[in-house]
Amino acid sequence: MGSTFFITGQEVRQAARANSHTSTTAGLAPGHIQANLIVLPSKYATDFRTLCQRNPVPCPLLAESTKPGCWSAIKSCIPSIPSTTLINQSSDLDLRRDIPRYMVYHDGELDESAEHTDLFTHWRDDDHVAFLIGCSFSFEAALCEADLAPGHIVGGMNVPMYRTTLPLNPAGVFTGGTYVVSMRVYKAQDIDHVRATTAPYASAHGEPIAWGWDAVSRLGIADVLQPEWGDCPLGPDGKELEFGPQDGGGIDCGEIVPVFWGCGVTPQEAVMRAGLQGTAMAHAPGHMLVLDCLDEVLKAQ
Amino acid sequence: MGSTFFITGQEVRQAARANSHTSTTAGLAPGHIQANLIVLPSKYATDFRTLCQRNPVPCPLLAESTKPGCWSAIKSCIPSIPSTTLINQSSDLDLRRDIPRYMVYHDGELDESAEHTDLFTHWRDDDHVAFLIGCSFSFEAALCEADLAPGHIVGGMNVPMYRTTLPLNPAGVFTGGTYVVSMRVYKAQDIDHVRATTAPYASAHGEPIAWGWDAVSRLGIADVLQPEWGDCPLGPDGKELEFGPQDGGGIDCGEIVPVFWGCGVTPQEAVMRAGLQGTAMAHAPGHMLVLDCLDEVLKAQ
């Protein structure tokens, strides 16, 4: 359950570093940008940047290591945002341990042999390049202000995330990748308002990519009640959804519908689908790097 | 069939203006950038820019009208390319008649009542905004130089273009859109070389989005031998393809395969799918606006 004890990004990062906070960062340090992490051998860095350029909705690139191997400093990839806005110069950043929980991939396969609360044994100081990707958590404060609080925030849970069959535009070694999406449930009549509210956050996935019950099968989502990552979906009231129409169940389709956004877990899926050789690392879905600046920085003028 | 009489973009535009050239521009003014055109009521301009940002592979935005209603001057949308590089200051541009053939849409439906060789009766000087989108013709010189000349160039035809079911990332009024793709046929063993050769042309669709016979059904292409626009597909030898494996036909799948790129006809499909109200205009597929600068300008450094 998300504690709201943390006020700043630095506080969340310090708690993650000390392993005193190892669960989701959803709802923590409200208003601060949370970022997805993917760390790749440097030989894949150019292709990954191209993957992001060709797929800016699921993979909005915010920043990357200042040089290969560097885990203590990032440079902004968004011309209008200075690097020191994302992480203050006075902050003591360590990408290898400032996230509550990590994923590690060897030759494109997830290492499930251990819980990874740091990356010390895997990170190569002469090679690995970290990339930060925008996260949909950045528009959740705006949704709350618009009286459209996501169910998982109301219920104090992690957002549900799903594999899809929607193909990424390939880039170099990154072939065969597909979108990962996050989902929030809304009343059908609120969709236009939801779309308009998240649209300005282009570097945090922007407006939804699909909505409605028919989008579930169009996206190739196996079971909307069983997300691959995060927690089970909650309705706008923060209570669990029990049936979807795809089960012949009891939800009035005209009443509430699922809404899907691009998700920054997509690069991890791309690493797996490409069978990327060597060691790649990432945040555990929903367990983000919290930055020093506010979500408003990502909002288009 | 494509005459190579024209050396410069200005010469092609003048011939189109005089209606002395009304067929495809494929292969004309070799080495010069050719651009897709879409012209929209100004109230849709912001949403269209967002559509391009969210779908840079099929919709790489090169330039737009300097102000609503303007058909005589464009401003570059690519920071590294000055506007006067795309169209020389000395050029006398008229977007309403410098393209050999146009398409006109009313309330999202194609006007097939007439051939449109100019847009005089439809263009509103107080409102319409023109957008130029990169075109895959820009990497064809590079393919030829790499000994990978596309079949339609060898055969002196227009490139085949197809509707797909691959969804665009929606943006504002632009919902329900799908990719349009262009197709060139290559030997399976040449795919890596083809991908690497077109990849640097990011503003001209870059590397392919899919390849192989299985991509035909994945993209929801009805019949690869019957493109919706352009001419029938030609093999690398410039001769007509007669069978695809999907017909149980005679092509050795290991030998030649279709390769698909994003296509700048996509905005026209988006206008139709969105049922856009008012009058929209565009080039006829394969009948492009030829610019004053060389394709190399679009090549990433």
Tell the burial category of B250 from Cβ atoms under 10 Å away from its Cβ (0-12, 13-18, 19+).
exposed
Interface contact flag, B209 A56, Cβ < 8 Å? no
Q: Do A131 and A22 belong together in one domain? A: yes
Contact with chain B for residue A54, Cβ under 8 A: yes
Q: Do B106 and B174 belong together in one domain? A: no
Interface contact flag, B50 A172, Cβ < 8 Å? no
| C-alpha angle A11-A14-A19 in degrees, rounded to nearest 5 | 125
Residue in B171, B207, B262 nearest the CB of A171: B207
Smallest Cα distance from B243 to chain A, Å: 27
Q: Do B119 and B31 belong together in one domain? A: yes
Q: Which of B51, B53, B54 to mutate to test the interface with A (most CBs of A within 10 A)?
A: B54
At A209, the pLDDT band (50, 70, 90 cuts) reads very high
Residue in A53, A170, A209 nearest the CB of B170: A209
**Per-residue pLDDT at A207 exceeds 90:** yes
Q: Which residue has the higher pLDDT, A244 or A250?
A: A244
Tell the burial category of B79 from Cβ atoms under 10 Å away from its Cβ (0-12, 13-18, 19+).
exposed
| Distance linking the first and last C-alpha atoms of chain B | 34
Q: Do A47 and A66 belong together in one domain? A: yes
In a domain, B234, yes or no: yes
Interface contact flag, A170 B209, Cβ < 8 Å? yes
Q: Phi first, then psi: give them for residue B203, nearest 5 degrees.
A: -85, 5
**Per-residue pLDDT at A252 exceeds 80:** no
Q: Which CATH number covers residue A111?
A: 3.40.1640.10
Q: Do B110 and B76 belong together in one domain? A: yes
Q: Do A91 and A181 belong together in one domain? A: no
Q: What is the CA radius of gyration of chain A?
A: 18
pLDDT tens, position by position, A18-34: 999 999 998 899 899 99
Average pLDDT over residues A241-252: 54
- Give one word for A275, left, alpha or beta, with left for phi > 0 and alpha for psi -120 to 50: left
User: In terms of residue numbers, what domain contains B166?
Assistant: 139-262
Question: CA A291 → CA A28, A42, A91, distances in Å?
Answer: 11, 24, 10
Q: Do A50 and A104 belong together in one domain? A: yes
Contacts of A18 (CB under 8 A, 6+ apart): none
In a domain, B3, yes or no: no
Q: What is the pLDDT of residue B6?
A: 87
Considering only CB atoms, which chain B residues are within 8 Å of A170? 207-210
pLDDT tens, position by position, B52-98: 999 999 999 999 999 999 999 999 999 999 999 999 999 999 999 99
Q: Do A288 and A253 belong together in one domain? A: no
In a domain, B276, yes or no: yes
Question: How many residues are listed for chain A in this entry?
Answer: 301
Report the sign of the C-alpha dihedral through residues B149, B154, B155, B158, in that order.
positive
Considering only CB atoms, which chain A residues are within 8 Å of B171? 199, 207
Residues facing residue A282 across a β-bridge: A38, A103
Residues facing residue B132 across a β-bridge: B37, B63
Smallest Cα distance from A137 to chain B, Å: 19
In a domain, B120, yes or no: yes
Report the sign of the C-alpha dihedral through residues A110, A111, A113, A118, in that order.
negative
In a domain, B1, yes or no: no
Among chain B residues, the shortest Cα distance to A171 is held by B207
At A240, the pLDDT band (50, 70, 90 cuts) reads confident
In a domain, A287, yes or no: yes
**Cβ proximity of A168 and A58 under 8 Å:** yes
Interface contact flag, A202 B166, Cβ < 8 Å? no
Q: What is the pLDDT of residue A239?
A: 86
Q: Do B215 and B177 belong together in one domain? A: yes
Closest C-alpha to A99, from A23, A33, A29, A8: A23
pLDDT tens, position by position, A139-196: 999 999 999 999 999 998 999 999 999 999 999 999 999 999 999 999 999 999 999 9
Considering only CB atoms, which chain B residues are within 8 Å of A195? 172
Q: How many domains does chain B have?
A: 2
In a domain, A270, yes or no: no
In a domain, A154, yes or no: yes
Q: Which CATH number covers residue B183?
A: 3.30.2040.10
pLDDT tens, position by position, A70-109: 999 999 999 999 999 999 999 999 999 999 999 999 999 9
- Give the Cα separation of B102 and A100 in Å (integer): 57
**Percentage of residues in chain A with pLDDT exceeding 70?**
94
Q: Which of B169, B195, B198 to mutate to test the interface with A (most CBs of A within 10 A)?
A: B169
Considering only CB atoms, which chain B residues are within 8 Å of A53? 56, 202
Residue in B57, B171, B207 nearest the CB of A207: B171
- Give the Cα separation of B166 and B63 in Å (integer): 25
Contacts of A49 (CB under 8 A, 6+ apart): A61, A64
pLDDT-flagged residues of chain B (< 70): 1-4, 242-254, 301
Give me the amino acid identity at B152: H
Smallest Cα distance from A232 to chain B, Å: 25
**Mean confidence (pLDDT) of chain A:** 93
Q: What is the pLDDT of residue B2?
A: 44
Q: Do A32 and A116 belong together in one domain? A: yes
Contact with chain A for residue B46, Cβ under 8 A: no
Interface contact flag, B206 A54, Cβ < 8 Å? yes
**Cβ proximity of B102 and B118 under 8 Å:** yes
Q: Which of A48, A54, A174, A205 to mutate to test the interface with B (most CBs of B within 10 A)?
A: A54
Strands A74-76 and A178-187: unpaired
Q: Do B230 and B282 belong together in one domain? A: no
Contact with chain A for residue B191, Cβ under 8 A: no
Q: What is the pLDDT of residue B250?
A: 46
Q: Do B30 and B109 belong together in one domain? A: yes
